[in-house]
Amino acid sequence: MKTTKTMGRLISLLILIIDIVIILDILRSNKETEKKILWIIVVILLPILGPILYYLIGKNKL
């Protein structure tokens, strides 16, 4: 049981770190402010899917 809690915490921490890195990447990008805000909202509301969508759709295309 303790292993399950530890694994869950590690996964949560990993997701948080990835989200922070993605948000910093968005803030450093040359995108318009509105697009930056939109992508940050997507990453915050969809913490697992948001970064994937950003790299597949938004990183170089928008």
Residues 50-62 have pLDDT tens digits of 999 999 998 876 5
pLDDT digits (tens, 9 = 90+) for 8-48: 999 999 999 999 999 999 999 999 999 999 999 999 999 99
Q: Give the number of other Cβ atoms within 10 Å of residue 58's Cβ.
A: 20
Cα separation, 9 vs 15, whole angstroms: 10
Cα separation, 13 vs 40, whole angstroms: 18
Number of structural domains (the chain) is: 1
| Segments forming the whole domain that contains residue 31 | 2-58
pLDDT band at 5 (very low <50, low <70, confident <90, very high): confident
The token pair at 41 is 């909202």
Predicted local confidence at residue 33, as pLDDT: 95
Predicted local confidence at residue 61, as pLDDT: 67
Predicted local confidence at residue 58, as pLDDT: 86
Angle between the 2-28 and 33-45 helix axes, to the nearest 10 degrees?
170
